[in-house]
Amino acid sequence: MKRVVIVGAGEVGYYIARRLAAENKEVIVIDRNPDVLNRCENLLDVQPILGSGNDPQILLESGVKEADLFLAVTNSDETNIISSFFAGVLAPEVVKLARIRSEMYHGISREILSRELKIDMIINPEEEAVKTVTRLLSVPDAEDVGEFAGGRIKLLGLRIDQCSPFVGRTIADIRAASGGLPFIIGVIFRDECTIIPTGGDIIRENDLIYVACERGILREVLGFFRCAPRDAKNIMIIGGGRFGLKLAHTLESKNYGVKIVEKDLRRCEELSAVLNRAVVINGDGTDWDLLLEENIHHMDVVISATGDDGTNILCSLLAKKTGEARTITRVNRFAYIPMMSAVGLGNIVSSRLAAINTILQFVRRGRVVSAIALKGENVEVLEVVAEAKSGIIGKPLKDIKFPRGVLILCVFREDQTHIPTGDTVIEPGDRVVILTTRQGISAVERELMVKMKR
């Protein structure tokens, strides 16, 4: 993929543009706001175009006819729909992704948009964020949870606290202590550093390690890392906006006990009318007395889900005062994400980051099934289907010329998960989970490419 046209230079558009520009792709960014375009021009190696993505002439100026990918990611659903329509008329072969959030554009409307406008992917950030929350709820004590091969491979972000028996021990020591338990530690996040570990790397207190394993041994792996198998039953959601409501609906359907706190009385009445079993409370989630009155200390999980990052951070910090409830914090500003663990809030969900993960699978070359960016932007995990003519087929992994910072985490073949060694040979049709730093992306894409056009 060489040329990408992005309509919208907000948080999502800027983040994707920065990521692709760093990989030497040709990126054109369209926006009506000169201030956000100046930010792109000053900080990124992209071509900014001032104007509306709804203007066919602007799209022609962007070179959309020669583009491989078209992203419409403004804050306006209508702008994204119309710009995708014109892009499709001007460049029928371009792959089109549109960010569409309003509920009225889903269900039958979504099918019509996909079919008639030939939009390849409609991205609802709130839907993607709800999926993130349900994954976090499924695994106790994990700060982050990724799923591959239809959920049969888990990638767990585990925090190493001061009481962990693994502090001061090498990766090789940990592997030996496991007694052959099939997992792999793929990456360590330490302060501002990202480490793709070897056997000699030492685990330190407060490291965030990512462990890949097969779903069937999940509890064994969690037990080995001293993570308690706690099941969540009672959940409090603070914030009854679009995301909070969608989350409450999903959790009700999974038989969780749900209590939702919303300070707007009219919105509370709307929530009560559409929710089935959830208890709706009119109040402020930053009111400590209210939280105590509503038995926050009996909640298993408190999810701060308002539209304001600062309010969510404060609500989660108040919830942690009980010492019992696990917290999940909605944070959309990317600048806040690296700082969250410093204030004791490890479990975070970002609608924008969830949308970006969906976009990344279309950006990458090869048959990429899913892609996840871990804790910021320096590491990606890709799930790919190995094609018969790609460069990773038919030779031992130790002979594939991947640069440092690229690691094969798992291979899924015929319903079996394999933690690979240097002698593992990838076969056509295998699902391969690859972890790579940003610097290794181009090399990974080269190996995944096939002789025919995707």
Quick one: pLDDT at residue 93? 92
Structure-token pair, residue 202: 């030492």
Mean pLDDT to the nearest integer, 278-297:
93
Mean pLDDT to the nearest integer, 378-407:
88
Architecture label for domain 3-123: 3-Layer(aba) Sandwich (3.40)
pTM above 0.75, yes or no: yes
Q: Which of 29-43, 317-331, 365-379 has the largest mean confidence?
A: 29-43
Say whether pLDDT at 437 is over 60.
Answer: yes
Higher pLDDT among residues 415 and 63, named by residue:
63
Say whether pLDDT at 189 is over 50.
Answer: yes
Quick one: pLDDT at residue 376? 60
Quick one: pLDDT at residue 453? 40
Mean pLDDT to the nearest integer, 38-54:
95
* Ramachandran assignment for 123, one of left (phi > 0), alpha (psi -120 to 50 degrees), beta (any other): beta
Say whether pLDDT at 265 is over 70.
Answer: yes
Quick one: pLDDT at residue 254? 93
Architecture label for domain 231-353: 3-Layer(aba) Sandwich (3.40)
Mean pLDDT to the nearest integer, 233-253:
95
pLDDT tens per residue across span 195-213:
999 999 999 999 999 999 9
Beta-bridge partners for 371: 382
Quick one: pLDDT at residue 454? 39
- Euclidean distance between CA atoms 201 and 374, whole angstroms: 20
Quick one: pLDDT at residue 377? 65
Quick one: pLDDT at residue 101? 86
pLDDT tens per residue across span 11-20:
899 989 998 8
Higher pLDDT among residues 328 and 323, named by residue:
328
Higher pLDDT among residues 232 and 57, named by residue:
57
Q: CB under 8 Å to 101, separation ≥6 — which residues?
A: 77, 124, 125, 126, 242
Mean pLDDT to the nearest integer, 416-425:
90
Measured CA to CA in angstroms, residue 199 lies from 82, 122, 174, 175 at distances of 53, 42, 9, 9
Three-class SS state of 16? helix
Mean pLDDT to the nearest integer, 237-265:
95
Mean pLDDT to the nearest integer, 68-94:
95
Which residue intervals of the chain bear CATH 3.40.50.720? 3-123, 231-353
Mean pLDDT to the nearest integer, 304-316:
95
- Euclidean distance between CA atoms 87 and 5, whole angstroms: 10
Lowest mean per-residue pLDDT among 77-81, 114-118, 174-178, 450-454: 450-454
Mean pLDDT to the nearest integer, 15-28:
89
High-pLDDT (> 90) share of the chain, %: 61
Beta-bridge partners for 373: 380
Q: pLDDT class for 452, splitting at 50, 70, 90?
A: very low
Mean pLDDT to the nearest integer, 409-413:
93
User: If you write DSSP's letter for every residue of 234-297 in order, what string do you get?
Assistant: EEEEE--SHHHHHHHHHHHHTT-EEEEEES-HHHHHHHHHH-SS-EEEES-TT-HHHHHHTTGG
| Under 8 Å between Cβ of 152 and 214 | yes
Which residue intervals of the chain bear CATH 3.30.70.1450? 355-448
Please provide the average confidence, as pLDDT, over all residues in the chain. 89
Say whether pLDDT at 165 is over 80.
Answer: yes
Q: pLDDT class for 1, splitting at 50, 70, 90?
A: low
Lowest mean per-residue pLDDT among 31-35, 171-175, 272-276, 386-390: 386-390
H helices present in 322-383, as ranges: 351-363
Say whether pLDDT at 451 is over 50.
Answer: no
Q: Is domain 355-448 classified as CATH 3.30.70.1450?
A: yes
